Structure 1
Amino acid sequence: MNGPATRHDAAPPAGSAGLIDGAADPADEAASLRREVETLRRALAERDAFLAGVAHELRNPMTPILGQVERLLGAAERDAPEGRVAQGLAQLRWLVERYVRRATTLLDVSRVQAGQLALLAAPVPLAEVAAEVVDALAPMAAHAGSTVSVTVPEDLVLSCERLALDQILDNLVTNAIKYGDGGAIAVSGVREAGAARIRVSDRGVGIPLADQARIFERFERAVADPGTAPVGFGVGLWLVRRLAEAMGGTVAVESRPGEGATFTVTLPLHQ
């Protein structure tokens, strides 16, 4: 006589113990996530390489154009310093220089992302660089109805890369002009706690507290609404932060909506 019927459950396949029917294998999910992350990394690397190539192609042809404009401007200023030709060429030179700076910003962004932005510290007089930047941006400030004052001791010398400092100040003053609502802008520099503190202040729209960390990220702007935000890449403040940190410094902002904003960059002093 046959024994009582018994139930024989099939043994689960190896590696699937404890899995519920239809549930995904954690190991498969992890492998899939790793593949997706790697795909995204390759896409970002390709995008940054593309940006670098575009920036290079946009900037390089402008170098001989700028040289020609400067040559013609020099001749016009010798013949008629106050004439319309000289004034027009001066404006054209400023426009070309702004174009080159924007292309350089794109190139710097791609270099930062690729870890290829090497900064060499040297003695740099802050007053000299600040005056150069403010002078270059004078047409933009005048168009916005803003005045820009510079208060920096002549003997305040930083330990940094001059081009990087120029880029930092250019971005901060440009930002102040864009969002300054036509008000006065102040650039100052002081010694504090063994370092140099550079401040760029405006009296414009201000930045809500909730947005003050966000604006230092890539592709973010102080005004989130694309319909009201000034034209730009949204990388200026991100680049300021990365350049300052690369030179052993920091950047911070103090602001209230409707009361303007003050950006403070701290950089090492030249010993």
Structure 2
Amino acid sequence: MSPHTSVQEEGSDALISLQSEIARLKTALQARDDFIAIAAHELRNPMTPLLGICHLALNAARKAEPPVPPALLSLLERMNVSIQEFVDRATRLLDLSRINAGKLQLCSVEADFSATVGTIAAKYENASLRKGSPLELHIEPGVRACLDPLAFTQIVENVLSNAFKFGNGKTVRLRFAQADEWVTLSIEDFGIGMSAEQQRHLFGRFVQAELPPLGGGIGIGLWLTGRLVAAMKGRVTVVSRAGQGATFTVQLPRRPVLDPSPE
């Protein structure tokens, strides 16, 4: 057997080994994504009705006559926040698995998204949810668009919660308006801001700014936001400087943008 034949056989064996390893890794990744999807689904489902019950209990306690003890009201508010955070994280994990599997499906609905933004903002009436930051709203009324309501809600909540997380207790300013065929959401904080290096990796998966004790979470909120915005043919930008806050701007088309038909 010639040296040339031996080299060819070795190369063929190496290629087969590499293909086998790639197949093994793909199987492992699929198993991981399936596990995440099942776990997120099973964890979220029983918590959703529990969250509704907690909302009812909290609203009843706030309106009770005579007033309930402040300590009890505080415990209910803390429980409400904890359950909401649990549901939010399970939802994000479920969306993460769908994106990885290429199964994320958006459903556009014609609606008043000014009202949607107002409803989301109302959730932050509780100061503990806002991390102490005052929320300043500038919402143009009656902005109608054809968007996926759940995806839009997740985008607003992810960016808004990020502003509160890193806002350092200072004012968070939310603006929502229509401009020609686009809707524009702008969320500005005056907190710790970000360096240019942090901004370069901001929308990466599992990226979390190393800023304890203000940090936390697993760092998929903004990555998910970027993917959802891209899925709706929009764009998201951030302007920030370390120590001077950050402004996130999301622009989404008011009508679905269809992919060009293949020729």
1:14 has 2:5 as partner: yes
Gaps of 5+ in 2: 257-263
1:265 has 2:244 as partner: no
Output the CA distance in 2 between the equivalents of 1:193 and 1:246: 20
1:216 has 2:203 as partner: yes
How many angstroms does 1:119 deviate by?
A: 0.8
Closer, same or farther in 2 for the Cα pair 1:140/1:174, shift >3 Å?
Answer: farther
How many angstroms does 1:110 deviate by?
A: 0.9
Closer, same or farther in 2 for the Cα pair 1:125/1:15, shift >3 Å?
Answer: farther
Which one-letter code corresponds to 2:21 in the other structure? Answer: E
SS at match of 1:238: helix
Aligned-residue CA RMSD (Å): 2.7
Name whichever of 179-188 and 88-97 sits farther off.
88-97
* TM-score, structure 1 normalization: 0.82
The aligned counterpart of 1:175 is 162
Output the CA distance in 1 between the equivalents of 2:170 and 2:95: 30
**Do the aligned residues in 1 keep the contact of 2:229 with 2:252 (CA within 8 Å)?**
yes
Output the CA distance in 2 between the equivalents of 1:260 and 1:66: 32
Give 1:157-236 correspondences, 5 Å limit: 157-221=144-208, 223-224=209-210, 228=213, 230-236=215-221
**Do the aligned residues in 1 keep the contact of 2:206 with 2:220 (CA within 8 Å)?**
yes
One of 17, 26, 33 as aligned partner of 1:41: 26
How many angstroms does 1:52 deviate by?
A: 1.3
The aligned counterpart of 2:241 is 256
* TM-score, structure 2 normalization: 0.84
The aligned counterpart of 2:90 is 103
The aligned counterpart of 1:238 is 223
Give 1:4-83 correspondences, 5 Å limit: 11-14=2-5, 16=7, 25-73=10-58, 75-76=60-61, 79-80=64-65, 82-83=67-68
Name whichever of 71-80 and 195-204 sits farther off.
71-80
Deviation above 6 Å: which 4+ runs of structure 1?
Answer: none
Output the CA distance in 2 between the equivalents of 1:261 and 1:202: 5
Question: Which structure has the larger Rg?
Answer: 1
The percentage of counterpart residues that share the same residue type is 33
Query: Which string of whole-angstrom CA distances, capped at 9 and with x for unpartnered residues, describes residues 18-45 of structure 1?
Result: xxxxxx9444444433333322222222
Matched positions, count = 254
